[in-house]
């Protein structure tokens, strides 16, 4: 199926010269809505001539709808005894890997460092590994600690009133909202990166072609942003606003958030060398 070429209908984006390495996540959300509308329009025109079997509407009481607002309050099955049991077990089998990441989690955010100590992150991640060590036989997907989970845990510890609530919200989020993102192969992340390339090619074929001419795929420049749902891109207070949006409408929309970020800095990207793009702090982040 060939999508219609609607490049002329896409709004023109003008980017200002970068004066810092932060991102305006409010502008990202506006950009996402524009990109989403454009993709929806493109697909509607492309699919209007196709024949499909009717599908049932999503029930507002369904599991998908029930995930909305996941980070705003603790799940009902919070058990202090369960959490304390995991903590009492001490270091999990991947403690060294956890410690290699936790010390640099949002390292430049002073407010985060003042509120969330490294030992809190280590405790939560240790407990998560122990929780899923006990549940492996009853779950189709197994979980352990993988790269990026330290950053995904950070907003929960920063916003929730206790480590207990942060732990159970984080566990529910990982296990139900983005389970493939944290498999050992990072399957969900790689799928998201492929989807990003496909969406960008539809939304802005010129920008997509420019990036490809520099041998830059989403796997290279967008890996940290997809892996962490943009949580690695400061400032944290705006990350939390972005996550409110993602938790309400679906974490998969993070792909469009990254595209919106690219469009906001389109002029800079189009005039940059391959070296600049690979190491541009507004585009590539470490976790």
pLDDT score, position 16: 45
**pLDDT of 182 higher than 60:** yes
Which of 68, 34, 40, 67 minimizes the C-alpha distance to 257? Answer: 34
Residue 109 backbone dihedrals phi, psi, to 5 degrees: -95, 105
Number of separate helices (H) and strands (E) present in the chain: 16, 0
pLDDT score, position 72: 46
Spatial distance between the Cα atoms of 74 and 59, rounded to a whole number of angstroms: 23
Average pLDDT over residues 159-183: 95
Residue with tokens 């009481």: 61
Each residue's pLDDT tens digit, 253-263: 999 999 999 99
pLDDT confidence of 272, banded at 50, 70, 90? confident
**pLDDT of 266 higher than 50:** yes
User: pTM for the full model?
Assistant: 0.74
Each residue's pLDDT tens digit, 102-125: 999 999 999 999 999 999 999 999
Q: In the Cβ-directed half-sphere of 235, how many Cα atoms lie within 13 Å?
A: 7
pLDDT score, position 192: 97
What is the overall mean pLDDT for the chain?
Answer: 80
Each residue's pLDDT tens digit, 114-158: 999 999 999 999 999 999 988 766 556 789 999 999 999 999 999
Assign a CATH topology to domain 80-178.
Helicase, Ruva Protein; domain 3 (1.10.8)
Helix 25-47, helix 236-249: angle, nearest 10? 30
Q: Which two tokens stand for residue 149?
A: 């989970």
Sequence-separated (6 or more) residues with CB below 8 Å from residue 77: 168
Sequence-separated (6 or more) residues with CB below 8 Å from residue 172: 70, 75
Each residue's pLDDT tens digit, 191-245: 999 999 999 999 999 999 999 999 999 999 999 999 999 999 889 999 999 999 9
Q: Please give the C-alpha separations between residue 104 and each of 98, 107, 128, in angstroms, as whole numbers.
A: 11, 5, 19
Each residue's pLDDT tens digit, 63-81: 333 333 344 455 667 789 9
Per-domain residue ranges of the chain: 80-178, 186-279
Specify the length of the chain in residues: 287
Cis before residue 272, ω within 30 degrees of 0? no
């Amino acid at each position: 199926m060939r999508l219609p070429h609607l490049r002329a209908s896409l709004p023109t984006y003008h980017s200002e010269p970068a004066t810092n390495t932060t991102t305006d996540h409010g502008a990202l959300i506006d950009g996402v809505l524009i990109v989403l509308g454009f993709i929806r329009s493109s697909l509607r025109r492309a699919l209007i001539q196709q024949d499909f079997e009717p599908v049932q509407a999503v029930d507002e009481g369904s599991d998908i709808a029930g995930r909305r607002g996941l980070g705003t309050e603790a799940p009902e099955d919070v058990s202090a005894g369960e959490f304390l049991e995991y903590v009492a077990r001490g270091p999990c089998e991947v403690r060294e890997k956890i410690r290699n990441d936790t010390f640099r989690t949002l390292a430049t955010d002073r407010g985060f460092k003042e509120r969330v100590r490294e030992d809190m992150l280590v405790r939560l991640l240790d407990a998560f590994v122990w929780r899923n060590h006990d549940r492996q036989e009853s779950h189709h997907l197994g979980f352990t600690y993988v790269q990026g989970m330290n950053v995904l845990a950070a907003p929960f510890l920063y916003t929730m009133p206790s480590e207990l609530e942060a732990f159970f919200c984080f566990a529910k989020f990982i296990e139900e909202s983005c389970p493939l993102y944290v498999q050992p192969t990072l399957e969900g992340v790689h799928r998201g990166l492929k989807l990003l390339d496909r969406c960008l090619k539809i939304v802005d074929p010129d920008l997509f072609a420019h990036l490809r001419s520099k041998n830059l795929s989403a796997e290279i420049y967008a890996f940290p942003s997809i892996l962490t749902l943009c949580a690695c891109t400061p400032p944290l207070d705006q990350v939390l606003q972005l996550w409110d949006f993602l938790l309400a409408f679906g974490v998969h929309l993070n792909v469009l958030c990254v595209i919106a970020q690219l469009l906001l800095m389109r002029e800079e990207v189009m005039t940059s060398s391959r070296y600049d793009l690979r190491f541009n702090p507004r585009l590539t982040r470490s976790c």
